[in-house]
Amino acid sequence: MTLEILTSDALAPLRHGFFTRRGGASSGVFSGLNCGSGSSDQSEIVRINRARAAEAMGLPADHLVGVHQVHSATVVTVTEPQDDKPRADALVTKTPGIALSILTADCQPVLFADAQAGVVGAAHAGWRGALDGILEATVDAMVDLGATREKITAVIGPSISQRAYEVGPEFLDNFMNADPEFARYFAQGEGDRLHFDLPGFGLNRLRAAGVGHAEWTRHCTYADAARFYSYRRTTHAKEADYGRLLSAITL
């Protein structure tokens, strides 16, 4: 099966993609294109999957650069292929031929570009990272490399949708303590349960950061098991582990 790659017209003509799980070599609960070396999948199979993704981006496997994601607001600037993975949740570069990549399984994969300035970025934004400022930090790091804030396009890829993201009142408190206005990203569920709009919150943060264009592809990772891995769906199904989706962009 060939790889399935979701793209956005807003990021054209730059080579980019939100890879689905289709077309990979993994099996079992990881069936498909599991690109997460942090999973319990066979490491050699993960390397094969990542090499296939790099090939689809038109690059050697070692030019697919990532980070050790820790739900932080830390951004690293990449100038060349690297073996080690710094602890961070976003990458930016103005160096052609390097694919910035991040991994997700419900959290937001966000790809950024100022094509005119020749600067791109990629961020992993779960609720904690988004609340702590990872998206704004990525925009700032791109500006430091020469991007113009108003000319940056940001696209949120497949993420968990509000319908599937049930949380408790203690989760709401994290947002209310930061800004009571954030209450609008929560919908009432049954009893004391709430539903959080992660992509809606991400779009809010991107627009507040001043980017020229921000959008969500409107794919829900939880709802479509055939195409996407989902940490929450795996938890509900009591499965042992889950795959990670790869998203990447290159100049």
Per-residue pLDDT in tens (0 to 9) along the chain, 251 residues: 799 999 999 999 899 999 999 999 999 999 999 999 889 999 999 999 999 999 999 999 999 999 999 999 999 999 999 888 999 999 999 999 999 999 999 999 999 999 999 999 999 999 999 999 999 999 999 999 999 999 999 999 999 999 999 999 999 999 999 999 999 999 999 999 999 999 999 999 999 999 999 999 999 999 999 999 999 999 999 998 999 999 999 99
Position 198 scores a pLDDT of: 98
Fold classification of 8-161+197-250 (topology level): CNF1/YfiH-like putative cysteine hydrolases (3.60.140)
Per DSSP, 243 falls in state -
Position 82 scores a pLDDT of: 86
Position 94 scores a pLDDT of: 98
Position 83 scores a pLDDT of: 82
* Spans of all domains in the chain: 8-161+197-250
Please state, in angstroms and as integers, the Cα–Cα distance from residue 94 to each residue in 46, 49, 146, following that order: 27, 26, 9
- Residue among 98, 20, 100 nearest 67 (CA): 100
Position 98 scores a pLDDT of: 96
**198-208 vs 134-144: helix axis angle to the nearest 10?**
40
Position 244 scores a pLDDT of: 97
Q: Pairing state of beta strands 166-167 and 194-196? A: antiparallel
Position 84 scores a pLDDT of: 85
Residue pair 67/76 in contact (Cβ under 8 Å)? The answer is yes
Answering whether pTM is above 0.95, one says yes
Position 228 scores a pLDDT of: 98
- Whether a cis peptide bond, with omega within 30° of 0, leads into 109 is no
